[in-house]
Structure 1
Amino acid sequence: MSRTVAAAVQQLRCLSCREEYCSVDAGTCKECYEEASETEEELKREIDDLKAKVAFLRLGSSPLDSHKRSSSLCFTDVVLVASDEFQSNPVNIPAHKAILASRSPVFKAMLETDMEESRSGTINISSVSYDALRAFINYLYTAEACLDEQLAYDLLVLGEKYEVKHLKTYCEKFLVSKLKWDNSIASYSFAHQYNAKNLLESSLSMIIDNMDSLTKSEEYAHLVEKDPRLVVELYEAYLSKQVNTAARSN
């Protein structure tokens, strides 16, 4: 090796700690290389631990999993009954009181006091489809849901009714992501009814930005007939924005 090359090697510095290193150390000094390796191993262990925890939570946790149903049903101690106007017969969904009570303050109150639901082991949930209730119970066990817009609306209603805040937030974020000017009025009315603040603000903003077009729509005419109070609120918000815009321009 020539003196020039040797000198260049001696002048190389580690990008992490700025200490000099030899080129055979692959761009970093020995200490930083070992530290990076230890950090990577720690991350791998953390990831493996998280995977193990998720696997533990899922293992036999939900009586809705078809491949585990025969064994898990032996330990369920409550039944939820779904019924709505489109179902000729109510549908039963088995669950565990401990899971329901730990996820929902409403279920907790039902099951820990001397209420009918606690004595009978049956919780009747009206005006809900089997698919929506099944998804709701599955979320209580797994904190997961495969949403479409209709299911997000249904689960948000259940999240509000049974005070499952994280489910309500999850559905609300999904509905905000699906918000368009042509569904903004329906979303605004729905958000008002079920106290969905983020969806309410997002839909209101979209309505105000498209006020001229929306006032000519069937959805707007339906809202005028169904809930004129909301129409007044929309115009108040619209006029407030116009006033603020005019004030800034002056």
Structure 2
Amino acid sequence: MGPTCLSCMERYYESDGGTCKVCYEEANETKDELKREIEELKAKVAFLRFWSPFDHHSRPNGPCFTDVVLVATSDDHSAEIAAPVPAHKALLVSRSPVFKAMLENEMEESLSGTIKIADVSYDALRSFVNYLYTAEVSCVDEQVACELLVLAEKYQVKHLKAYCEKLLVSKLNWDNSVMSYSFAHQYNSKLISDAALSFITDNMDKLTKKEEYVELVEKDPRLVVEIYEAYLSKQVNTAAR
């Protein structure tokens, strides 16, 4: 009797890598087929990709044909001196339902060709617009990632928000947990909220000593109540085991 094939669980005599000859050949055919499908998808993505105004390598001297600019602003308008970020209305409309509503109607932004984005840095705004074109985010620090998440939430760009959530969760620690918990509630991020809450409830003996905790008590006591409710629930579950 021969060994058992790891794929079909049948006995075999001719084999390769722990599988019978039939299963091995079928696996190779499937692998080749998946490779072809991946290459086809890459070709479609390349064809559908809307070239970015920042893509100077592909269009070093050619016109961008942009028809709208986005400008980073602040409450005191001091940031309006930052360089405008060029874009195409058609692209913004196709990527964000908020931009779609804004630009399809005779709102100020549609008529003037200028969209003012409040309380965001130029770097974050540029990264945000570039993502709308390429679905790619260059290396960003935590501050820019937070700004991008805010923009993604405001303009309903779900894929970007998910990316930022994962990045920020990977940067979570005890020191930034309270601030991250508050931030997550403000911008509807359950992923960050749950991860931050886990850090907090694991360190409750140190919580009241944190400056961020004192600020949270003053600004949003509701979240403090939720923290203690989560901690008590965790204690009950632990005791019941």
User: Normalised by the shorter chain, which TM-score bucket?
Assistant: 0.7 to 0.9
Distance 1:173 1:74, change over 3 A: closer
Deviation at 1:94, TM superposition (A): 0.9
Counterpart-to-counterpart distance in 2, 1:20 and 1:242: 55
Residue of structure 1 in register with 2:231 after alignment: 238
Query: Is the contact made by 2:71 and 2:80 (CA closer than 8 Å) also made in structure 1?
Result: no
1:62 and 2:62 correspond: no
Map Cα deviations across residues 197-233 of structure 1 (whole Å, 9 max, x no partner): 1211221122111111122122222322333332233
Please, what TM-score do these two structures have when normalized by structure 1? Answer: 0.80
Identify the structure with the greater helix proportion. Answer: 1
Query: Is the contact made by 1:156 and 1:172 (CA closer than 8 Å) also made in structure 2?
Result: yes
Residue of structure 1 in register with 2:205 after alignment: 212
Counterpart-to-counterpart distance in 1, 2:14 and 2:189: 60
Over the residues paired in the alignment, what is the CA RMSD in angstroms?
Answer: 2.9
- The AA in structure 2 aligned to 1:202 is A
- In structure 1, runs of 5+ residues without a counterpart are 1-10
Counterpart-to-counterpart distance in 2, 1:122 and 1:115: 11
Aligned residues: 234
Map Cα deviations across residues 175-198 of structure 1 (whole Å, 9 max, x no partner): 112211111100001011111112
Counterpart-to-counterpart distance in 2, 1:223 and 1:37: 58
Distance 1:72 1:227, change over 3 A: farther
Deviation at 1:239, TM superposition (A): 2.9
Percent identity, aligned pairs only? 67
Counterpart-to-counterpart distance in 2, 1:33 and 1:235: 56
Aligned partner (choices 130, 141, 157) of residue 133 of structure 2: 141
Map Cα deviations across residues 10-38 of structure 1 (whole Å, 9 max, x no partner): x8799577697779xxx965x66665554
Distance 1:188 1:236, change over 3 A: same
Residue of structure 2 in register with 1:77 after alignment: 67
Map Cα deviations across residues 61-82 of structure 1 (whole Å, 9 max, x no partner): 1111232455664321211112
- In structure 2, runs of 5+ residues without a counterpart are none
Residue of structure 2 in register with 1:132 after alignment: 124
Higher Cα Rg, which structure: 1
> Residues 136-175 of structure 1: matches in 2 within 5 Å?
136-145=128-137, 146-175=139-168
Query: Is the contact made by 2:67 and 2:86 (CA closer than 8 Å) also made in structure 1?
Result: yes
1:106 and 2:98 correspond: yes
